[in-house]
Amino acid sequence: MTDHSFMSQVEVLSVTDTGRRRRWTDAEKVRIVEESYAAPRMAAATARRYEISRSLLTRWRRLAREGLLIGNGDRAHFTAVTVRPEVAAEPATTDAQFRADDTSHDRVEIILPNGRRLVTAASTETSTLARLIQVVERA
């Protein structure tokens, strides 16, 4: 004979609180996005590895494609350059003639990583130039 005894079943659901929202730096986002492109069909696996949603990773990937997600190494920076006049096949000009013609050549052309060109006066302040570069990169 079977003895039927009723035992109440208790299920324990535990909620693990991870604290407040995680904050990812741009460099970390870029590293995670690059890892997700390492092989075909790696986005979901990468999202699981870092415990982020696939939609968040997709958003980061879109920002990276649009050039809006920039890691620390990719930020615009200035490099010292030396500007020398081009050697022309024409007869040499005097310094006075060169200075008179120099106003038309007082321009700087910057080719950005996204392929856009920025042409500005050489006398443009570096802070203004940095803002222009950011605007042109996002356009």
Locate tokens 């042409």: which residue? 119
Share of the chain above pLDDT 70, in %: 66
Residue 19 is assigned to a structural domain of this protein: no
On whether both 81 and 127 belong to a single domain, the answer is yes
Tens of pLDDT, residues 63-117: 988 888 876 555 555 666 677 777 665 555 455 554 554 455 688 888 887 778 8
Note the pLDDT of residue 108: 82
Residue 47 is assigned to a structural domain of this protein: yes
Residue 17 is assigned to a structural domain of this protein: no
Whether 31 and 17 have beta carbons less than 8 Å apart is answered as no
Residue 7 is assigned to a structural domain of this protein: no
Note the pLDDT of residue 18: 60
Residue 43 is assigned to a structural domain of this protein: yes
Share of the chain above pLDDT 90, in %: 21
On whether both 48 and 81 belong to a single domain, the answer is no
50: confidence class by pLDDT, cuts 50, 70, 90 = very high
Tens of pLDDT, residues 53-72: 999 999 999 998 888 887 65
**Structural domain of 62:** 26-73
On whether both 80 and 129 belong to a single domain, the answer is yes
Residue 113 is assigned to a structural domain of this protein: yes
Residue 21 is assigned to a structural domain of this protein: no
On whether both 85 and 126 belong to a single domain, the answer is yes
How many domains does one find in the chain? Answer: 2
Instruction: Quickly list H helices, 3-94.
Output: 26-36, 43-49, 54-65
pTM for the complete prediction? 0.41
On whether both 51 and 83 belong to a single domain, the answer is no
Reduce the DSSP state of residue 110 to 3 states and report it.
Answer: strand
On whether both 87 and 131 belong to a single domain, the answer is yes
